[in-house]
């Protein structure tokens, strides 16, 4: 539940949230003017003006560009963000470039 509590305190949160549900696979670049919550799988890059949550069981095969990234799933690519928070199950097989990296 900590991942949801942290999002409520987020200063960069704007717009709506797009949810990629468990069992859903999206192929291609995914762009959002709000936030993105990944419980399923994305095979492509992700761009969000606000935040990206890769929840436990969620997988992104591509790069992530967002203001904030909350990682409890797997990213097979690079992450560019102002703030990245990595939780116990979070794994990034790539580079992370951020102003702040926190352990959740």
Q: What is the per-residue pLDDT across 40-57, written as a single tens digit (0 to 9) for each?
A: 999 999 999 999 999 999
CA separation, residue 48 to residues 9, 25, 31 (Å): 18, 18, 6
52-73 confidence digits (pLDDT tens): 999 999 999 999 999 999 999 9
Q: How many CA atoms lie within 13 A of 21 on its CB side?
A: 1
Task: Report how far Cα 1 is from the mean position of its chain's Cα atoms.
Answer: 16
Report the predicted TM-score, pTM, of the whole model to 2 decimal places.
0.85
- CA 83 and chain centroid, separation: 11
Q: Is 21 exposed, middle or buried (0-12, 13-18, 19+ CB in 10 A)?
A: exposed
């Amino acid at each position: 539940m900590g991942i949801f509590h942290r999002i409520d305190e987020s200063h960069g949160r704007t717009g709506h949230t797009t949810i990629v549900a468990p069992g859903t696979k999206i192929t291609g670049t995914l762009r959002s003017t709000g936030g993105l919550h990944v419980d399923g799988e994305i095979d492509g890059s992700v761009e969000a003006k606000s935040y990206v949550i890769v929840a436990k069981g969620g997988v992104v095969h591509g790069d992530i560009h967002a203001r904030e990234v909350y990682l409890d799933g797997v990213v097979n690519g690079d992450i560019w963000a102002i703030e990245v928070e990595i939780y116990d199950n979070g794994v990034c097989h790539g580079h992370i470039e951020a102003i702040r990296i926190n352990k959740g």
